[in-house]
Amino acid sequence: MTKTRAGLRLVLFDMDGVLVDVSRSYRRAIRETVRHFTGAYPEATAAQRLKDQGGFHDDWELTHALILS
């Protein structure tokens, strides 16, 4: 729950990133997971490069591919 400048309290649910940009936290979570399992911290652009190749619509599959690379 967040308190806004106007003093209102609100809860924001956003499942698909339309209302809130989650791209940076999404990418960081992928990188942190890869580091946890491999000890290596991939470049910030590694996930996007795989997504650009196609076939990686699921973040778990993308993370797994980075772990195996």
Give the model's pLDDT for residue 69: 87
Domain ranges of the chain: 22-69
Q: How far apart are CA 59 and CA 11, in angstroms?
A: 25
Decide which of 1 and 62 is more confident: 62
Mean pLDDT throughout 16-23? 69
Distances (CA, A) of 13 to 4, 18, 19, 20, 37: 15, 10, 9, 9, 30
Predicted confidence (pLDDT) at residue 63 exceeds the cutoff of 90? yes
Mean pLDDT throughout 20-44? 88
Predicted confidence (pLDDT) at residue 24 exceeds the cutoff of 60? yes
Q: What is the mean pLDDT of the chain?
A: 83
